[in-house]
Each structure stands twice: as structure tokens, then as C-alpha cells.
């Protein structure tokens, strides 16, 4: 009997994705375009944060957005109304965006007219953490109503992110959210991550978030 042949499909897929992601990064750097990969659970406030970021930075940077969703165009419509270049990626099933999808989206954008591209990844705290999109920075959002225990349940997402926005802090008085435990668990996984506390409803903390992003864009380009 012939020996069983073992092929690690996931390893091959991730390797191919990583190579293309690096090509994307190099292409964008050559054109001086900064790309941000924004990840979070459904309802954490990704679209709201993108809109508030656009409103604060659109006079300084030419902004484009890649919207990832399994089916709907609701978020893309909201973002497009802000007057920025918007591309909708409808995955039709996959719960994450990867480098080939981003490459396709970039092909329909005029990169010469952009300084900043924000990817709104599919709402999920698992798969998006595994796939490099070619972005310069990975940022995740956790909303207060989701609970401080998400750090323990989804450690990879917190480990790979460069920054974390704790959103909907206006709910803190109503939620059983332990900020001290939350920060302790996050920094244990990722000592170098930047944490911003914000509320897209009240505007609190958004200036600090935008100041960090502004500095990252200028440093990279």
C-alpha cells in the first residue's frame, strides 16, 4: 500500500496570500498610498468609525474605502455618501478579505489620486486575523457591549493588530465591562499595541485616534 500523502492546504493558501500581500504593499508604497485594514465583529462600529475618520481627515488626505461584506451594500452606500472613492467587495460566503480580493478592488481604483485606503473587513474576529491583505497597519475595534472577555476568546486578533479602538465607551455606565482587566489581557498578548477609547456617538477619543493614524501615514510615506 502506498503511503498516504499529506498536503497542508491552509499552509499553502496562507503562503500564496502572503506573497501577493507583499506585492500589494510594495506597489502601494511606490505610489505613496497608505492602506489600513480595519477588523471587528458585526455591529462593533467599523462603518461609523470610518465615516468619522473621513470627516476629520478628508481635507488632509485623499481617501478611498474598500468595503467587504458577504452580501449587502448598506455600508458601502453610507461611506460613498461622504464623497470618497468606494469599492464594494461582495464575498458571497467567505468571512474575510484576502490579498487576491484586495488586488481586484485596487484594480478598479485610481491609485494616483489616493493617499489613504481604508479596508472595512468582513465582520468577524477569527478569519480576518489570519489573512494579510497587504495593508500597512491592522486595526481592530472592540465595542463595550461585546464584553472585556473577547480578548481571551479571540487572542489572535488582538495579537496581530497594531492598534485597538475600544468603541462605544458611552455605554460603559450601562455595561459590566472591566477596563482594567481588559487592558491587562490585551497588553499581555500584545505589549506594543496602541489602545484608543472612543465613541462615534459623542466624538470622544476620535481626535486621538485620528492623530495616531495621521502620524502613521506620514511615517510610512
Q: What range defines the domain where residue 107 resides?
A: 9-220
pLDDT computed for residue 20 by the predictor:
95
Answer yes or no: is pLDDT of 176 > 60: yes
pLDDT computed for residue 7 by the predictor:
47
Residue 2 in any domain: the answer is no
Residue 194 in any domain: the answer is yes
Residue 4 in any domain: the answer is no
Answer yes or no: is pLDDT of 5 > 90: no
How many domains does the chain contain in total? 1
Place of cell 475618520: 53
pLDDT computed for residue 12 by the predictor:
62
Place of cell 462600529: 45
Residue 3 in any domain: the answer is no
Residue 137 in any domain: the answer is yes
pTM of the entire predicted model: 0.91
| C-alpha 25, offset from chain centre | 15
CA atoms within 13 A on the CB side of 165: 32
> What is the share, in percent, of the chain residues with pLDDT greater than 90?
82
Residue 39 sits in a domain of what CATH number? 3.40.50.300
Mean of the per-residue pLDDT values of the chain: 92
**Mean pLDDT, rounded, for 16-35:** 96
Instruction: Report the alpha-carbon distance of residue 22 to residue 185 in Å, rounded.
Output: 30
CB atoms near residue 182 (< 10 Å): 20
CA torsion, points 128, 76, 102, 150, in degrees to nearest 10? -10
CA torsion, points 77, 205, 42, 96, in degrees to nearest 10? 80
Phi, psi of 169 (to 5 degrees): -70, -10
**Mean pLDDT, rounded, for 76-92:** 91
Residue 196 in any domain: the answer is yes
Residue 171 in any domain: the answer is yes
pLDDT computed for residue 13 by the predictor:
62
pLDDT class of 8 with cuts at 50, 70, 90: low
Amino acid at each position: 500500500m502506498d503511503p498516504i500523502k499529506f498536503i497542508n492546504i491552509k499552509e499553502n493558501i496562507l503562503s500564496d496570500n502572503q506573497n501577493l500581500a507583499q506585492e500589494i504593499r510594495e506597489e502601494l508604497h511606490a505610489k505613496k498610498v497608505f492602506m489600513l485594514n480595519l477588523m471587528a465583529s458585526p455591529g462593533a462600529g467599523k462603518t461609523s468609525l470610518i465615516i468619522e475618520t473621513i470627516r476629520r481627515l478628508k481635507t488632509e488626505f485623499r481617501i478611498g474605502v474598500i468595503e467587504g461584506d458577504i452580501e449587502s451594500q448598506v455600508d458601502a452606500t453610507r461611506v460613498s455618501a461622504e464623497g470618497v472613492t468606494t469599492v464594494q467587495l461582495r464575498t458571497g460566503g467567505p468571512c474575510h478579505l484576502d490579498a487576491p480580493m484586495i488586488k481586484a478592488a485596487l484594480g478598479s481604483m485610481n491609485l494616483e489620486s489616493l493617499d489613504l485606503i481604508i479596508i472595512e473587513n468582513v465582520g468577524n474576529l477569527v478569519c480576518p486575523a489570519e489573512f494579510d491583505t497587504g495593508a500597512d497597519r491592522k486595526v481592530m475595534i472592540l465595542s463595550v457591549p461585546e464584553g472585556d472577555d473577547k480578548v481571551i476568546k479571540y487572542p489572535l486578533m488582538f495579537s496581530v493588530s497594531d492598534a485597538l479602538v475600544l468603541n462605544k465607551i458611552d455605554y460603559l455606565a450601562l455595561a459590566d465591562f472591566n477596563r482594567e482587566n481588559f487592558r491587562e489581557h490585551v497588553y499581555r498578548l500584545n505589549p506594543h499595541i496602541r489602545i484608543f477609547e472612543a465613541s462615534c456617538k459623542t466624538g470622544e477619543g476620535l481626535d486621538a485616534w485620528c492623530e495616531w493614524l495621521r502620524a502613521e501615514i506620514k511615517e510610512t510615506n
